[in-house]
Structure 1
Amino acid sequence: MGALDYVLAGVIEALTGNPALTLGPLVLSWPVLMVSAGFFTGVLIGATPGLSGPFAMALALPLLISSFGFSHDALLPVIGFLIGIMKGATVGGAVPAILFNTPGTPDAFMTTLDGYPMAQKGQGGKALRVAQFASVTGDTFSDIVLFLCAPFLAISIELFLGLSEKASLMILSLSFVAVVVGSDAFKGLLAASLGLLVASVGSGTDPYPRLSLGMDFLASGLPTIAVIIGILVVGEIFGSLAEMRRHARATGQAEIIRDTGDNSLGLAERIRLLPFIGMSMTIGTLIGALPGIGSTLAAAMGYTAGRKIHKGAVPFGEGAPEGIASCEAANSAVSGANLIPALSLGIPGNVSAVFIILAANSIGGFNPGPSVFRFTQDQVNPELVIAFGLFTLMVVGNLLNWTTGAWFMRLLGGLIRVPRQILLPVVLLLTITSVYVEGGSMVDVYILLVFGFIGYLMRWAHVPILPFVIAYILALPLESTIRNAFEASGGDPYFLFHGVVSPALLFLSVVIFAASGWLRRGKPSD
């Protein structure tokens, strides 16, 4: 099969391969249905203050796997729903930031700087339209870069890197994530080391269980979904509940602001926004391609760059549409680019990519990494068909955003803030239920709560969470690659230092960590 044949096979697999409804020649497939449902769910979740896309993905993943099972046909519907949530939550997060001055995530804070002043002037509708236009433009550009770069990067790595070089590349990625996430490189390294330690419980290629402490339920390893959701979601819930108790803070309803000003967004105004969107989405894509940095830095850099070139009558921070466009384009461009290392290297770039990789690993039949993009001629590579099906679903999500995103955001314009003291316990109950449904055992719930408490302690100690999660995900492929490289070298203990590329990557790992310590010298630690 040629490249075009794989593309067509992926499109057909996504659009017609698993029909949910057939009306004559028209076929509505499960993947398309699920990415649509995920998109609208994501917009709703993003528009609800206190919730975020990763929260929704964490709740949905166990339920989706329980519903669709572990067959080949389950891959695209499950991952499609997660992609829909990721795209919808990104654009939906602008709703509370603009209308309520309530950033649901740190990167949405930049949107409040100009969005809320516009809402106070009666231009909330225009602000939402600007946010949606900038968001979908940045997201589309980022996805195009993903479609072009991920196969090229994966093929290059597969052709030029051996087992030792791949192992060193994973070590470099872990070092990079540990250093750039958070304000303390040593805490990031501690988090990554803890993730590797937890992943080694009961796993590996040894004929006996490791670190099981003689407990039967640990002999087969810890349940991955319970561990990751516990650290990411339950730990955040515990932290928020503790904060509410400390401050005894009661939340009321949001102020209702009438849209009495000009709320249209004409073609000429959209054209004036394009330079700001173009610059910010380029910044967001470049930042998103680096694992672990995230959208917060991209939004801040995009906003700063837009302010430098802005010469309008309304300055940034006082209700300038260009300010909204700058941060929303950069923020949304991160999402697609973060899947570049996830699909081409198997290294998650952010929390959303973690759940996509987790879904692929849980269901089976699709292992993100260089082997996915092998254009075999003599036999069909099913993983490559799934990859192009995944790209097709991302295009479907973008089309939904272009055509219905602004309309759906306007429907949520009257959304009233849900008090956190009501919202968080409900989310905790749903999280426990979803993990129990997926695992079918109370042991999974106990592990979920234990790692939720560990996640709370890590946040309290200002230890970053993302290095733990990425190290936990990469632990098994890293160990497998190192073992295979060691065996291929004939048992040479210096197998990682052969050639030029592998030692260079290891040297870069040390340089990154040392440079981080030098840059932070003299600064107060957390």
Structure 2
Amino acid sequence: MGVWDHVVAGFLAVLQSDPVLGIPIVLLMVLLGFLLGITVGATPGLAGPMAMAISLPILISIFGYSADALLPVLGFLIGIMKGATIGGAVPAILFNTPGTPDAFMTTLDGYPMAQKGEARRALRIAHFSSASGDTFSDIVLVVCAPFLAILVERYLDLPEKTALLILSLAFIASVIGNSVGKGIISMGLGLLAAMIATGEDFYPRLTLNQPALAEGIPIAAAILGVLILGEVFKALEDIYRGEAQAKPPEQTNVQGGAKSKDLRRLIPTIGRSAIIGTCIGALPGVGSTLAATLGYTSAKRRHANRPDANSPAFGEGAPEGIAATEAANSSVSGANLIPVLSLGIPGNAAAVFLILAMDSIGGFNPGPSVFQLGGGINEGALNPEMVMAFGIFTTMFIANGLNWTIGGIFMRWVGVMTRIPKARLLPIVLLLTLTAIYVQETSMVAVWITLFFGFLGYVMRRIRMSPLPFVIAFILGGNLEATARQAFAATGADPFFLFNSPIAFVFMALAIGVVAFNLRKPVS
């Protein structure tokens, strides 16, 4: 079977899934996830990863753990990811309230436009730019992920793969956050947690003789605790101390739609920012905040060098500022799945929950083997993992289609969500997260573990330590250990197996170089 057979099979796996109300279940789940994502993205204090975290255990309890459940669950999560990306522009433009760090750049020109009575125009520009950047990024994903996976499988053996995982962790720990030292500590804590009760030893490791830890730490409990509960605890404390704005700001006048010629004029700016965001998103651990900043800065510099008499200056309501920011941060989402599907390495919080869904349900192990054509005794057979990969690509393009058709309309409808105070939303998020953990694990021990890691996530945020290196290291820890053990055995127990191969040596040198280079950054 060739590649096109797998493309068709993946497409049909989506369109021929079991119907509900006459609609294929995967299509329905993408639609519901997309609408929920826009709603969550438009609500200050919430974010796409929060909705994905709460939804995942509930979805698994509904669909089960069979391979047939994977596409509906992933379709819903991808819908949330896509919808939340465009929904985040709503509070930034209407209320000058960035729901996420990358949306801050949107406020610089979006809110001034809204104050001039051009909120509808600003929202339409944000929607068009976001949808364009997202679509471009998905096209690059479909082209590059299989190509990269084939290169990895062809040229990298076990030592090289071990060194590549170490390089990825070093890169993530170095570039995320404001301190390389804190990033490395966060990564080390994640690896330490992943080592509990795992490996090939005859007795559980690091369990402190606690039977509850004999099976290891539930991955959902650790990730949801650090990422979601930690953020909730910090936000609740900020509200209590009066550091967070509890009252919603006044809404501006929503008038003045963008014209087609206005959007056509912005296409070059959108194209440049989409390329920037896609390149940034393809790097593990480099998120949409940097992409939005670089996209905005690039457009601002070009605008200053080639001033347009018909366009306001950046920071005073320039449409180019909105277009550059939204195209850049939206184009990260598709490109961020390039390392996920080709290497099994998540790059941001949304990708973490996609990996978690794949690991929890089974039947799909992201990595280089996903894009291998059947050979040997399976000659001529379809590779089910490649079929699943093209099914995932299909759901992403369906979500893009929803973005283009109903995304802009629904964006304007959910503006009312920005008026809900965070003090009311966050306790609901806390309760739903703990309920979701109990639904999946059916154990109070898992709830207590989640609360423990929630406290750990809170402490990390208070000392300005990013929790993302912890989460990614926790996910990759088991794979890193297994690959290292296999490489050690395959090389005849050579303790220098990471340095004997030229490619592995280059990866290790790059890992050391990345850390050393980023140590020179000033700590902010």
- The two structures have a TM-score, normalised by structure 2, of 0.96
- Give the structure 2 partner of residue 298 of structure 1: 291
Residue 284 of structure 1 pairs with residue 277 of structure 2: yes
Contact 1:18/1:73 (8 A) holds in 2: no
In the TM superposition, 1:77-476 aligns within 5 A as 77-247=72-242, 251-260=246-255, 263-310=256-303, 311-312=307-308, 313-376=311-374, 377-476=379-478
Shift of 1:267: 2.1
Instruction: Provide, for residues 351-396 of structure 1, a one-character-per-residue CA deviation record: whole Å limited to 9, x for no partner.
Output: 1000000000000000111011112243221111000000000010
Shift of 1:416: 4.3
Write the distance in 2 (CA, Å) between the matches of 1:445 and 1:79: 24
- Unpaired segments of 5 or more residues in structure 2? none
Distance 1:165 1:102, change over 3 A: same
SS of residue paired to 2:201: coil
Write the distance in 1 (CA, Å) between the matches of 2:49 and 2:181: 26
Contact 2:36/2:83 (8 A) holds in 1: yes
Instruction: Provide, for residues 441-463 of structure 1, a one-character-per-residue CA deviation record: whole Å limited to 9, x for no partner.
Output: 11111001000001111111111
Contact 1:291/1:338 (8 A) holds in 2: yes
Shift of 1:507: 0.9
Write the distance in 2 (CA, Å) between the matches of 1:330 and 1:370: 27
- Give the structure 2 partner of residue 5 of structure 1: 5
CA RMSD of aligned residues (A): 1.2
- Give the structure 2 partner of residue 14 of structure 1: 14
SS of residue paired to 2:266: helix
SS of residue paired to 1:33: helix
Shift of 1:149: 0.3
Shift of 1:410: 1.5
Write the distance in 1 (CA, Å) between the matches of 2:297 and 2:347: 23
Seq. identity, %: 56
Instruction: Provide, for residues 415-459 of structure 1, a one-character-per-residue CA deviation record: whole Å limited to 9, x for no partner.
Output: 442112111111111111111111111111100100000111111
Write the distance in 1 (CA, Å) between the matches of 2:320 and 2:243: 38
Q: Aligned to 2:71, which of 76, 79, 94?
A: 76
Contact 2:177/2:183 (8 A) holds in 1: yes
Pick which of 395-404 and 316-325 moved more: 316-325
Shift of 1:121: 1.0
Shift of 1:485: 0.8
Write the distance in 1 (CA, Å) between the matches of 2:249 and 2:291: 28
Shift of 1:213: 1.3
Shift of 1:14: 1.1
Write the distance in 1 (CA, Å) between the matches of 2:183 and 2:398: 37
Write the distance in 1 (CA, Å) between the matches of 2:342 and 2:265: 36
SS of residue paired to 2:20: strand
How many residue pairs get matched? 515
Instruction: Provide, for residues 294-331 of structure 1, a one-character-per-residue CA deviation record: whole Å limited to 9, x for no partner.
Output: 01111011011111222233111111111100000001
SS of residue paired to 1:176: helix
Write the distance in 2 (CA, Å) between the matches of 1:88 and 1:416: 15
Pick which of 119-128 and 247-256 moved more: 247-256
Write the distance in 2 (CA, Å) between the matches of 1:366 and 1:201: 24
Instruction: Provide, for residues 446-486 of structure 1, a one-character-per-residue CA deviation record: whole Å limited to 9, x for no partner.
Output: 00100000111111111111110110000011111111111
Write the distance in 2 (CA, Å) between the matches of 1:253 and 1:497: 57
Residue 65 of structure 1 pairs with residue 67 of structure 2: no
Write the distance in 2 (CA, Å) between the matches of 1:35 and 1:12: 15
Write the distance in 2 (CA, Å) between the matches of 1:475 and 1:414: 42
- Give the structure 2 partner of residue 25 of structure 1: none
- Unpaired segments of 5 or more residues in structure 1? 23-27
Shift of 1:2: 0.5
Shift of 1:249: 5.7
- Give the structure 2 partner of residue 52 of structure 1: 47
